[in-house]
Amino acid sequence: MQTKKSDTPENTLDENPLFELFHDELKDIYWAEKHLTKALPKMIKKACAEELVGALENHLEETRHQVERLDKVFSMIGKKALAKKCDAMEGITKEGEELMEDFKDSPALDAAIIAAGQKVEHYEIASYGTLVAYANRLGLEDASQLLKETLEEEGAADKKLTEIAESVANEDAETVSN
């Protein structure tokens, strides 16, 4: 169990409410990332633009590494890596599935996939940003560094989706079928 330098043995992080919240949020994002390793292949299968397929495949691989990174964070704090169902991510991915179904025969399908993907990224950015702040406050520098790596990847994935939307998908979505 990692403790803050200023902590005495009887005042460990386990007794700290912020640490409890940090641990709870870790379990939540752990479930979310594992869930995404199942949701992203569905998006890849339905995507049309090569750029979008490539970006989603790349992010699927990153997501697998992010799960491994979370395993390390759990280990650093002396906790077993456990997932707690993330209702928010479940809802976001369900909405994404509905969008893909609604636009499956539309030139707007890639734009819909990007919209769904960016909702996922924004949730992850908020979650990892919060976890980094908690880790910093708790003096968990190594955990904070690992979480920052993931936060940066999520931001880059969001930017990449924006680029694809602006360069390809949104224009294609305006195409009227004859």
DSSP letter for each residue of 74-142: HHHTT--------HHHHHHHHHHHHHHHHTTTSTTHHHHHHHHHHHHHHHHHHHHHHHHHHHHHHT-HH
Q: What is the pLDDT of residue 177?
A: 62
pLDDT (0 to 100) of residue 4: 45
Instruction: Look at residue 70 and tell me if it is in a domain.
Output: yes
Q: Is 1 part of any domain?
A: no
CATH number at residue 143: 1.20.1260.10
Write out the two tokens for 85.
Answer: 């169902």
Helix %, strand %, coil % of the chain (to 5)? 80, 0, 20
Answer yes or no: is 8 within a domain.
no
Is 143 a member of any domain? yes
Is 71 inside any structural domain?
Answer: yes
pLDDT of residue 1: 46
122: tokens are 């924004």
pLDDT at 12: 73
Does residue 2 lie within any of the structural domains?
A: no
Entry pTM: 0.90
Q: What is the pLDDT along the chain (178 residues), one digit of tens a residue?
A: 444 444 433 347 878 999 999 999 999 999 999 999 999 999 999 999 999 999 999 999 999 999 999 999 999 999 999 999 999 999 999 999 999 999 999 999 999 999 999 999 999 999 999 999 999 999 999 999 999 999 999 999 999 999 999 999 999 999 866 5
Give the residue numbers spanning the domain of 100: 15-173
In a domain, 3, yes or no: no
One-letter identity of residue 119 = K
- The total domain count for the chain is 1
